[in-house]
Structure 1
Amino acid sequence: MAYKNDRNYRRSIKIALFITALFFIVEVAGGLFSGSLALLSDAGHMFSDLLALILSFGAMTLALQLPTKSRTYGYHRGEIFAAFVNSLLLIGVSIGILWEAYHRLLNPAPVQGGLMLIVAITGLAANLYIIYLLHGSHNLNVKSAFLHVVGDTVSSVGVIVAAVWIIFTGQVIADPILSGIIAVLILISAARIFWETIIILLQFTPQSVDFDAVIADMISVDGVKGVHNVHLWSLCSEINVLDAHVYSCESDMSKNTLIKEEIKERLKKYRILHSTLEFECDECRDCALVAPIHDNSE
């Protein structure tokens, strides 16, 4: 399956921004006139979508800036920071919805089911189109914005169901119950994004990369007797970085160059696009060993 590049996603996010801003206003108005907490909750979720898209667009724009002497990696981490802020916003929104839903359960308020239904259907249509625009990206920043919208789409479906229920039964308690369910969905997606960004910010080994497989691929290169002092982390969701000491006794620099090129080529399948390899003939005694020495000559 072919994926759109970041420039195409920037255009998609701009379109999504306009649609989300428009329907956020529609849902707020609809929620106020209908008296529906679920609709206002969905509007709150859509507002977090709007912030997510603004941050995502800004981060992707910054990431296009070339590295400088003072910022040698450029602005790729801006994507992760945006996703981190988005996750915190989602957590705040979900807590607010849960609190209000609790009070509505204790003191049910009248709700106009018909207006609630019309606005919810309109919001659902907008969310489905935005999902179409943003689907398929491996970029964590775009993915976080996408998950915002997916969660909002699920909540829109719930609002429609609640509106139909209220129209036919008159039981307005469905409104705060649904609001609580929406809040839990928001919280789950927020926790997932939050953890993924923490892994990158703390420079843990990427979850999508098998560390042992990376080491095995490096060691299997002809001329490599072992690797150690290996550090593997993510610069952003699409670029992994590695530095390591390569144990090789090749005295011919041209052969070491060929070994290095082969290792770098093998690392590409792990999306390791930046690697720094230090070649040694003797084991580095003062380095913390991450991968033990393996002798290929055996």
Structure 2
Amino acid sequence: MACCHDPNCPAAAPFGSLNGPRWRRALWVALFINAGFFVLEIVAGAAVGSATLQADALDFFGDSANYAISLGVAGLALRWRARAAIAKGGTMLAFALWVLGNTAWHAIYGTVPQAEVMGAVGVAAMIANGAVAFMLYRFRTGDANMRSVWVCSRNDAIGNLGVMLAAMGVFGTGTGWPDVIVAASMGGLGLWGGWQIVSQARTELRCAQAAPLGVAAE
């Protein structure tokens, strides 16, 4: 089949070399880091009234769920990994829509968050996510399931930089608009990342269904 010349198809994906113990260990580390920072940022975001921290917290939660799903499907056939990736991409899209709606609420009511808390949390989260992204970098060219993990980590690192920029903007202007603008940008990044994952996973699923049974099951 023509689609099996696509690098996303089973014949081209170096599945066995990547989905080993190192992959699973990396997922467990990423899962614990993201779950911990979800709790930290959701509490801090609600306490200081920051849409950006709440957006980043929900992103941490979505990533924790994504890593847990990836651990569950690691070692299964490509079609199951692709289906899991579609579910994860859909979760990212749903979170992104929530972020945009929450950001609109903050814009309407004109909330002004505490810049100092935003900045401190943003720095800690960026260090943690930078370490996770570095750890997962070698898996970025795998199947859609692996790619979704890399995209999540990359988006988180970018989002944490946005948190610090928003904190500086709030501190400098004394208004909540920098917080709103950055949160809206993070929501847009989530939409883009989720669509990337769903698109690749759908391609892989079509290839897995079209390939002979022995090939698709690898």
- Which TM-score band (shorter chain)? 0.7 to 0.9
Contact 1:98 1:179 in 2 (8 A): yes
Contact 2:112 2:170 in 1 (8 A): no
* Partner of residue 296, structure 1: none
Q: SS in structure 2 opposite 1:136?
A: helix
Contact 1:46 1:149 in 2 (8 A): no
* Partner of residue 180, structure 1: 184
TM-score by length of 2: 0.84
**Equivalent residue for 1:81, pick from 74, 79, 83:** 83
* Partner of residue 7, structure 2: none
Give runs of aligned pairs for residues 181-220 of structure 1, distance below 5 A: 181-201=185-205, 203=206
**Equivalent residue for 1:19, pick from 33, 47, 64:** 33
1:127-176, Cα deviation, whole Å (9 max, x unpaired): 11111121122132121011012112111111100101111221211111
Q: Which protein has the larger Cα radius of gyration, Structure 1 or Structure 2?
A: 1
* Greater than 6 Å deviation, 4+ residue runs: none
Cα distance in structure 2, aligned partners of 1:76 and 1:197: 10
Cα distance in structure 2, aligned partners of 1:97 and 1:38: 9
* Partner of residue 161, structure 1: 165
Contact 1:37 1:179 in 2 (8 A): yes
Contact 1:88 1:194 in 2 (8 A): yes
**Equivalent residue for 1:6, pick from 2, 11, 19:** 19
How far 1:51 moved relative to its partner? Answer: 0.8
1:229-279, Cα deviation, whole Å (9 max, x unpaired): xxxx236xxxx9469xxxxxxxxxxxxxxxxxxxxxxxxxxxxx839xxxx
* Partner of residue 29, structure 1: 43
Match status 1:38 vs 2:52: yes
Cα distance in structure 2, aligned partners of 1:5 and 1:100: 38
Cα distance in structure 2, aligned partners of 1:83 and 1:28: 25
Cα distance in structure 1, aligned partners of 2:188 and 2:43: 24
**Equivalent residue for 2:103, pick from 101, 104, 108:** 101
- State the one-letter code of the partner of 1:274: V
Could you say which structure has the greater relative contact order, defined with CA pairs below 8 angstroms and 6 or more residues apart?
Answer: 2
**Equivalent residue for 1:58, pick from 54, 67, 72:** 72
* Partner of residue 215, structure 2: 274
How far 1:107 moved relative to its partner? Answer: 1.6
Cα distance in structure 2, aligned partners of 1:108 and 1:149: 30
Identity %: 23
* Partner of residue 91, structure 1: 93
How far 1:97 moved relative to its partner? Answer: 1.0
**Equivalent residue for 1:130, pick from 106, 123, 132:** 132
How far 1:77 moved relative to its partner? Answer: 2.3
Contact 2:45 2:54 in 1 (8 A): yes
TM-score by length of 1: 0.62
Contact 2:169 2:178 in 1 (8 A): yes
- Aligned residues between the structures: 199
* Partner of residue 9, structure 2: none
- State the one-letter code of the partner of 1:105: A
Moved more, 98-107 or 124-133: 98-107
Cα distance in structure 2, aligned partners of 1:96 and 1:89: 11
- Greater share of strand residues, 1 or 2? 1
* Partner of residue 295, structure 1: none
- Greater share of helix residues, 1 or 2? 2
Cα distance in structure 2, aligned partners of 1:53 and 1:91: 16
How far 1:93 moved relative to its partner? Answer: 0.6
- State the one-letter code of the partner of 1:143: R
Q: SS in structure 2 opposite 1:234?
A: helix
Q: SS in structure 2 opposite 1:135?
A: helix
